[in-house]
Structure 1
Amino acid sequence: MGTLSQLPTNLTLDDADTPRDIVDAMILAPFSTGDQPYAHTARLPRVRKDAPLLPADGRILRVATDDGLRSHLAAGDGWTLRAARWRGGVAEVTVTATSDELALRILEDATRGARDEHAERADSVSMGFWHHSAKRGAQRSTRPITTPSWAAIRDNYAGDVAASLERLMALTPESISGRLLLLHGVPGTGKTTALRALAQAWSSWCQVDCVLDPENLFHDSSYLMEVAIGDDEHEERRWRLLLVEDCDELISSAAKASSGQALSRLLNLTDGLLAQGRDVLVGLTTNEPLARLHPAVVRPGRCLAQIEVGPLPFAQASAWLGTSVGLNSSGATLAELFALQRGDRDLVSHSPEPATGYYL
């Protein structure tokens, strides 16, 4: 039987490959041949633009820049390093080496001081965004998002809705009694804005992440496991709120038949075996009325909060706008009020049913 060091390295290229793809592939060569059998990778959510991502004694072998995105391959005595940057300051550094200790030391040298530690603005929080890459699997990047305070937006919601949202904003880990947060109602009523304010209100104890491709998350068990369980063991453990917006198909009354195991996996994440021992909450928004949702989703005890976010009634809408001109007796959605405030009366419906607006 041959040794692993005799494993050949083959690289097949076509016109779809880029120089950055070549750099990505070249880091695998010394590892696959066994010349450098130890590898470590670090993913950095925010990196300084001037961070070299390179030890002082490293020599650059390749540099590939594509539309402002940069990758480089470097080497030193007994090690090889590949560093890649993406938009938003996200970077990944991989080191292969002749020993585990050397790989860890080079990785530490390359990433030391690379993180952008600038203080976040008082009106923003860092939000994670998950997506699944065909080549790289589950990927998470972070972005600062503007988050209004609850006090600044409270008047955007009808009295009973505002009271429910206020109780939600005030929750602490000790008072959590369910794992599912459900905001439902017609478009344009401010569901997303309420969630941004929630990220601000809970920022001291809860990390908020948004799942960009829920259709993949609940159909791919490995992706779901990474998102639900793949915490960095070196980071301080915090609660996490996973946001899935506009998930009508996932939780509708026909979801079990149309989505297969997707609904079951969602429910398992909130109170099944997958949820045990994990401090994970799931936030869902939908435009569907409550009666059209699957009964398993809204059963008693599952929801941390279940809030219907509707239009503002006529009196409150008039007070918000400062006039009743352009309003009908049924009131208005938040999207319609902003349209009227801008003078875009063509975007406002005058039918009894609230119009679909642009303010989520």
Structure 2
Amino acid sequence: MSAKPQDALPIRLTVDDSDSPSDVVDALFLGRFATGEQPFSHSSTIDRVKPGVPLLPPGATVLRSARDDDRSATLSEGNGWTLLVSRWNHGADVTVTAVSAELAEQIHGRTTEGARDEPEPQPENVTMGFWYVSPRRGPYRTTRQIAAGTWDDVRANYTAPVADALDQLMKVTPDDIAGRLLLLHGPPGTGKTSALRTLARSWRDWCQVDCVLDPERLFNDVGYLMDIAIGEDDGSAKGRWRLLLLEDCDELIRGEAKHTAGQALSRLLNLTDGLLGQGRNVLVGVTTNEDLERLHPAVVRPGRCLARIEVGSLTRAESMAWLGREEGDWDGTVGREGATLAELYALRRGHGPASVPARQPGEAGLYL
């Protein structure tokens, strides 16, 4: 007869001067779960805890409490359960072990009831998620309220062909989705990221928007990719779409990507229209500074892109209108080839003349 799991895994605690008191608290918490005395667990993460909330259920006895520079840990217990609360910045991780699943869920609910701080939504804000791999928690998602103007407010920031293409993109609904890839390409400072913020606001009724902060790791780490692509979304209603934003992914989608990025490009394409993306309402938005001609043909093939938009500089006339000047009043601060959005903002702040490289002949077409 084989040994029970708790007998095959003796519990030993070894510490040295690299361990903090919080590390000791974490290790002590696992004892009753590892031995099987309390074999059930329930846990959650709260991004923002309301000020003054103790995260301690009534009747709890505190066993250990430790505070480091950026984290605190509290270990407490009650009849048939043990609770670990790790607090960091404004957030907290709450984990309960107990003699039954029902008791673990009950104590967890008492601990976290009314603890989540939900800022009052502002009409000009949109909730965006941010994914990254945390050394302590692994793949992790947090949310922030991001200011985003309406499309009518920011449309003048884009040259006419780009604005026309974005007009169509802002009006997309789930019924309009054909391809799963959204590609914005063009020189730095032309407003690609600003357009995505506005898109998140325009789509917020039907699409959850998440920005991946470490895209180079995402497509080289299968576990991370599965957590994002297949894992549950943040409490959204069933059928709600998700848009994953990957910024400045030049190495991933340029023509030689198959050789330099290994399997990363294949996994990106598999997420957009392969087996990995089947049954999941997932879109992928990519920004790049690369010219269209340098992108991998598999990325830009017909049918893969929901939208492929080259975001360029405003013309000189458009730049003058943006600055509130007439064409005849031009004083040399804007070159003949116009200016990028970043350069126009710099001019408005009085940071000197714009310097814009000449346009490439034969601008790429825009389509949805």
TM range (shorter): over 0.9
Q: Which residue number corresponds to residue 334 of structure 1?
A: 341
**Is 1:58–2:60 an aligned residue pair?**
yes
Taking the aligned partners of 1:350 and 1:223, their CA distance within structure 2 comes to 40
Secondary structure of the corresponding residue to residue 64 of structure 2: strand
1:297 and 1:340 mapped to 2: Cα distance?
A: 36
Is 1:90–1:141's contact at 8 Å kept on the other side of the alignment?
A: no
Aligned partner of 2:146 in structure 1 is 145
Deviations 1:86-114 (A, max 9, x none): 33x43221111111111111111111111
Aligned to 2:11: 9
The residue that corresponds to 1:357 in the other structure is none
- Please give the alpha-carbon distance, in whole angstroms, between the structure 2 residues aligned to 1:302 and 1:90: 39
Residue pair 1:51, 1:114 contacting (<8 A) in 2 also: yes
The TM-score with structure 2 as length reference comes to 0.90
For 1:123-202, what aligned pairs fall within 5 Å after superposition? Answer: 123-202=124-203
Moved more, 322-331 or 242-251: 322-331
Q: Matched residues in 1 for 2:356 and 2:196: separation?
A: 28
Deviation digits for residues 277-305 of structure 1 (CA, Å, limit 9, x no counterpart): 10111000000011111111111011110
Aligned partners of 1:329, 1:241: CA distance in 2, in Å? 37
Q: 1:142 to 1:24 in 2, by over 3 A?
A: farther
1:352 paired with 2:358, answer yes
Alpha carbons of 1:316 and 1:134: their partners in 2 closer, same or farther (altered >3 Å)?
same
Aligned to 2:50: 48
Superposition deviation, residue 118 in structure 1: 3.3
Distance in 2 between residues matched to 1:170 and 1:180, nearest whole Å:
16
Aligned to 1:244: 246
Q: Aligned partners of 2:109, 2:99: CA distance in 1, in Å?
A: 16
* Runs of 4+ residues over 4 Å off in structure 1: 232-235
CA distance in 1, matches of 2:211, 2:357: 34
CA distance in 2, matches of 1:320, 1:97: 63
Distance 1:336 1:320 in 2: 11
Does 2:231 match 1:230?
yes
Q: List alignment gaps of at least 5 residues for structure 1.
A: 355-360
Of the candidates 269, 272, 281, which is equivalent to residue 271 of structure 2? Answer: 269
Distance 1:163 1:220, change over 3 A: same
> Is the contact between residue 208 and residue 242 of structure 2 (CA under 8 Å) also seen in structure 1?
yes
Letter in 2 for 1:333: T
Q: What is the number of residues matched between the two proteins? A: 352
Distance 1:26 1:169 in 2: 52
Q: CA deviation at 1:350?
A: 5.7
**How big is the shift at 1:251?**
0.6
CA distance in structure 2 between the partners assigned to 1:143 and 1:26 by the alignment = 33
Q: Distance in 2 between matches of 1:109 and 1:232?
A: 24
- Give yes or no for contact 2:339–2:356 (8 Å, CA) kept in 1: no
Distance 1:186 1:66, change over 3 A: same
Q: How does 1:76-87 map to 2 (within 5 A)?
A: 76-87=78-89
Tell me if the contact between 2:130 and 2:213 (Cα under 8 Å) persists in the aligned partners.
yes
Query: Are the equivalent residues in 2 in contact too, given 1:243–1:284 (CA < 8 A)?
Result: yes
- TM-superposed CA distance for 1:175, in Å, is 1.2
1:343 aligns with 2:350: yes
Name the amino acid aligned to 1:254: E
> How far has the Cα of 1:136 moved from its partner?
2.5
Matches within 5 A, 1:21-40: 21-40=23-42
Shift of 1:231: 0.6
Q: Report the identity percentage.
A: 56
- Residues 100-148 of structure 1 show CA distances to partners (whole Å, capped at 9, x for unaligned) of 1111111111111112233211111111111113442211111111112
Give the Å deviation of 1:214. Answer: 0.9
Q: d(CA) in 2 for partners of 1:217 and 1:184?
A: 21
Which secondary structure does the structure 2 equivalent of 1:296 belong to? helix
- SS at structure 1 position matched to 2:260: helix
How many Å separate the matches in 2 of 1:292 and 1:28?
53
Say which is worse superposed, 112-121 or 145-154, in terms of deviation.
112-121
Aligned partner letter, 1:304: L
